[in-house]
Amino acid sequence: MNVMELKSVQKTFDGQLEVLRDISISVEKGEVVAIIGPSGSGKSTLLRCATLLTQMDSGELSYLGEKAAWNDENGKSVYARDLKKIRGYFGLVFQNFNLFPHYSVLKNLMDAPISVGGRNKAEVEREARELLQKMGLADKAGAYPCQLSGGQQQRVAIARALAMNPEILFFDEPTSALDPELTGEILKVIRQLAEEKMTMVIVTHEMAFARDVADRVIFMDGGVIVEQGNPKEVIGNPREERTRQFLSRFA
């Protein structure tokens, strides 16, 4: 089954900068997709389109076969009037954690399930504490984000996304804002989620991680998918010259 599908996405900024030119991606249940590519290639914009933070100019978006956006007769994207249910299908983890600074760790996790999900507080708290335990943060429930390391903050952000029980998680360079010695703890958490068959799309510059953990790697450049496939092939033995050039920077 298809968890998320984007079809022929086009996005232009300020009427001239073509950032996404006809990108299509579909993600299967349990699949881990890594997106790699140079800065400015449109990776974040693509994730923002998938997570309804940015409107596509043209293109279709669906989750679990339910349409979030489709093309009108002029080929312009039209969005569903009520996107609340769709928003419940995905979670997003940013580069800069984006925690609520004035909320405790526990409240960061509990806020959306209660206020958006309308769920029972005691039950949400029990699940939130379990998630913190799983992330190795059980003793940080009462702490505030500013009292945590970057790696701990990012683990809270991942726990917060998981607290909404999403069908799919998107990560936008989840380790790029971290000191190198803190990168490993985040990659370990994502690797564990992959082993649990969480469906994930991860924009990353961690090539070894992408090769080991992803089921599929997509290389983007200039707003198009240049090549995609088995990580060992795309990263280990790319077909396209542009992919090879990009990867040579990591050698």
Three-state secondary-structure class, residue 82: coil
- The answer to the question of residue 42 lying near ligand ADP (CB under 6 A) is yes
**Which amino acid, one-letter code, is at 201?**
V
H helix or E strand, kind and range, residue 132:
helix 121-134
To the nearest whole angstrom, how small is the minimum distance from the Cβ of residue 43 to ligand ADP? 3
> Of these partners, ligand ADP, Mg ion, none, which one is at the site of residue 40 (CB under 5 to 8 Å by kind)?
ligand ADP
Closer of 43 and 160 to Mg ion (Cβ): 43
Residue 198 Cβ, how far from Mg ion at the closest point, in Å? 22
Report, in this order, helix, strand and coil percent for the chain, each rounded to 5: 35, 30, 35
Burial label for 227, CB within 10 Å (0-12, 13-18, 19+), is middle
Q: Which residue, 44 or 153, is less far from Mg ion as judged by CB? A: 44
| Single residue of 2, 24, 26, 40 touching ligand ADP by CB under 6 A | 40
CA angle, residues 46, 52, 54, in degrees to nearest 5: 60
44 binds Mg ion (CB under 5 A): yes
Instruction: Choose, by CB under 6 A, the member of 10, 45, 62, 77 that binds ligand ADP.
Output: 45
Q: Give the x/- contact pattern for ligand ADP in 4-23, rule: CB under 6 A.
A: ---------xx--x-x----
**CA distances (Å), origin 82, targets 5, 43, 137:** 18, 26, 35
Shortest Å, Cβ 94 to ligand ADP? 11
Q: Is 155 in the site for ligand ADP (CB under 6 A)?
A: no
Determine if 160 is a binding residue for ligand ADP (CB under 6 A).
no
| Of positions 7, 25, 33, 41, contacts ligand ADP by CB under 6 A | 41
Count CB-CB contacts under 10 A for residue 208.
Answer: 10
Binding residue (CB under 6 A) for ligand ADP from 16, 39, 74, 115: 39
Q: Which of 179, 189, 194, 187 is nearest to 135 (CA)?
A: 189
Binding-site size for ligand ADP (CB under 6 A) equals 12
11 or 43: CB nearest Mg ion: 43
> In DSSP terms, which residues pair with 48 in a beta bridge?
none
Residue-wise over 99-113: b if at least 16 C-beta within 10 A, else e?
A: beeeebbbbbbbbbb
Q: State the residues that interact with ligand ADP by CB under 6 A.
A: 13-14, 17, 19, 37, 39-45
